[in-house]
Amino acid sequence: MLRLLLGAAGLVALLPAGLGAANAPQRSFAIDYDNNYFLKDGKPFRYISGSIHYSRVPRYYWKDRLLKMKMAGLDAIQTYVPWNYHEFEPGVYNFSGDRDIEYFLELANEIGLLVILRAGPYICAEWDMGGLPAWLLEKESIVLRSSDLDYLAAVDRWMGVLLPKMKPHLYQNGGPVIMVQVENEYGSYFACDYDYLRYLQKLFHHHLGDEVVLFTTDGASTYYLRCGALQGLYATVDFAPGGNVTAAFLTQRGSEPRGPLINSEFYTGWLDHWGHRHSVVPTNMIAKTLDEILARGANVNMYMFIGGTNFAYWNGANMPYSSQPTSYDYDAPLSEAGDLTDKYFALREVIGRYKHLPEGPIPPTTPKYAYGQVAMEKLGTVAELLDDLSPSGPIRSTYPLTFVQLQQYFGFVLYRTTLPKNCSEPTPLFSPLNGVHDRAYVSVDGVPQGVLERGKSYTINITGKAGANLDVLVENMGRVNYGRYNNDFKGLVSNLSLGQDTLVDWEIYPLDIDSVVGHGLNSRGDESKTSGGNPSSYAAPAFYTGRFSIPSGIPDLPQDTYIKFPGWTKGQIWINGFNLGRYWPVRGPQVTLFVPSNILISSSPNNITVLELETSPCGIQKCAIEFVDKPDINATLQYESNTRKLFTKDLWLDPL
C-alpha cells in the first residue's frame, strides 16, 4: 500500500566515470499508508512547519525570517502563491524582485528548510480576492472556482506559467518542495464542483509529474470535507488551539482512513479587521495544543509563523464587508517586523521536546530607529492634480462604470457629474443598492460634503447649485477573500440618486497614483486656499509631501522604523515611491505602519507622499508625521459592539 514517489537523481552527470545511476543518491518523498506517516528518502518522517508569505515580507528580509524559523526547530515552511501578485494584467507576468518566488525557494533550500507549496489558484490568505486576479471579473457572469470555461481557460494559462517554474524545485528534483496544495478550503465554497477539483488534479500532475504529493486543506468538519476532499488528493484539516485534537483528527480520518495526520493551519493568532480589536491568542493555549498534536506523531503547520505586511492595496476583506488592515502581524511567533517574541521561544521549547533543535545563535531582533517628526506640506487636492493623476482624461458614460470595466483594478477612481438642480437646502445623496464599493469621498465644487461607505453609510446630505461639479472619489479598500462573495466588483457598482433623481452623464477618471508618485508629484493650485462653507468635518482629499534625511554619524543606519499619523484621519502613504499601505488610526486597531529599512536611503533625502482622504492636522496643529521605534497595532479605541469570535470563519460564508 506504499505510494513511493521516486525522483530523478539529478547528479548522475556529475559522477566520476565508471559509477552508474544505481549508485547515485535518490531523493524521494512518499506517503506510507500502511504506517500512517511520510517517507522521506525511504525513512519515516514527520514535519513541523510554519507559514510565511513571501509576498508580505520584503525580499531583503527573506533570509532573516527563514533563519529564525529554522532556528525555532522547524523542518519546513508553508507559503501561498498569490496569482494576482504575479499576473497583474492578463498575460503580463512578474517574477522579479519581491515577486521572485524561485529565489525564495532557493533560499529555503540553502537554509535547510523544506517547503509546502500552496499553489492555488485560489488561496484566501486575507489577500485581495483570495489571490484571484480582478481582471477575471471582466466576464461579469463568471463563476469563480468552478468549471466555468472562461475561468478554467485563465487557470490553465496561469498554471502553464507557474507550475513549470516550480517543477525543478520539487524535492525529487533536488529542490525543497515536498508537497503541493490544490486549491484551498474548497469545502467552504458554495460551488462544490468536483469536476473542477478533478481538472486541477489532472493539470497539476500534467505539469509536475505523477510523483508529486498533492493535497487539500479544509476545516476539521465533515461538512467542509464533503466538498473539499477528492480521491487522489490527500485530505488534510485545519483547526485552532484550545479544541479537541483527537476529534479534529478523527474528522480527517473520515476522508483519509490511513496516512499521516496533518493540521495544515494550526492558528498561532488570528486576523484583524479595521474597527475591531487586534486579535491576541494566549501563548500557553497554543503551546499546550501544539504539544498535544506533536505527542500524537502528527504533522503540523503553524499559521502564521510570521504574518508580515499587506503593503500597497493587497489586503483582503470579509463579509459583511469589513476590510483588513495593512498589518498582518497575526499575533504570530515572529512579529510583523520579524521580531522574536515570548511566543516564539515558548513554541521553540515545545518543539525541542520532540526533536533536536539546531545549534548556533538565533538571528536577533532587528533594531528600530525613531527618526522623529517630518514636516509635511500640502501639494494640492485630488481635483487640483487631476491632469497629472489621470493623464488620459476621463471616460464618459451615462451610468457609472466599475473599476474592472475601466481596467483599473486597485486604488482610486474619481466619478464626476453635475448637479441637475439647485440644492440650496440639504438634499440626500444616496446609493439605493449599497452600490458604493467601498468608500466614497464626496465634494461639490471642491467643498467636501461627507463620506458614503459600503454597509455603513448609505446617505449624506449635500448642498450646491445646479451645474456644480459633484465629485465622488471612490476607494477600493480590498476585495472579499473568503466565501461566495469574492466576485467583488469595485467602484460605483450601481447608480447614485440625488433626491428623486438618478444621476447620469458621468466623467470617470481612473487615477494612476502609484505611477505619478513614483515619478514625482508636483504642486498645483493655490496651497493657501481653503474651502469655505463646509458643513461637515471633512476636507477634500489631498496630497501632502515631506522629506527627511537619515542621520549621519550613527552606525548601521538606516534601520527599520514605524510611522504614525498624529491628527491625520485616513489615507495612503508612499516612501520613496514605495506604497507602504493604508493608514486609518481613527478607526484602528492599527495606528503605526511598519517601515522596512530597505525602502529607505541614506545617500539623499527620503521622499514621503501622503494622500489624506478626510482631515489632516495641517492648519489646525503641527502638519507632520512621525517616525517612532515601537509599533502600535492594538490601540484602545471605540470598537463596534459585535466583537468577533476568534477562529470562526462561518460568519463570513453567507452573511447576507
Using an 8 Å Cβ cutoff, are 116 and 40 in contact? Answer: no
Nearest to 484 by CA among 318, 259, 248, 601: 318
Using an 8 Å Cβ cutoff, are 472 and 441 in contact? Answer: yes
- Measured CA to CA, the distance from residue 434 to residue 454 in angstroms comes to 6
Work out whether strand 29-32 and strand 2-3 pair parallel, antiparallel, or are unpaired. Answer: antiparallel
Side-chain-facing half-sphere of 418: CA atoms under 13 Å: 8
211 has catalytic annotation: no
- Measured CA to CA, the distance from residue 552 to residue 103 in angstroms comes to 33
Using an 8 Å Cβ cutoff, are 69 and 306 in contact? Answer: yes
- Measured CA to CA, the distance from residue 438 to residue 495 in angstroms comes to 14
Could you give the C-alpha distances from 253 to 32, 161, 225, 259, 649, in angstroms and in order? 15, 35, 11, 9, 22
Residue type, 403: F
Using an 8 Å Cβ cutoff, are 142 and 151 in contact? Answer: yes
Q: At CA 330, angle to CA 337 and CA 372, rounded to 5?
A: 35
102 has catalytic annotation: no
Determine phi and psi for 222, rounding to 5 degrees: -60, -30
Helix (H) or strand (E) holding 187: none
Q: Which residues, at least 6 apart from 635, have a Cβ–Cβ distance to it below 8 Å?
A: 585, 588, 589, 590, 591
In which region does residue 368 sit, left (phi positive, over 0), alpha (psi from -120 to 50) or beta (all else)?
Answer: beta
Q: Which of 183, 185, 336, 612 is catalytic?
A: 185
Q: Which of 265, 384, 475, 612 is catalytic?
A: 265
Side-chain-facing half-sphere of 286: CA atoms under 13 Å: 29
Using an 8 Å Cβ cutoff, are 418 and 515 in contact? Answer: no
Active site positions, annotated: 185, 265
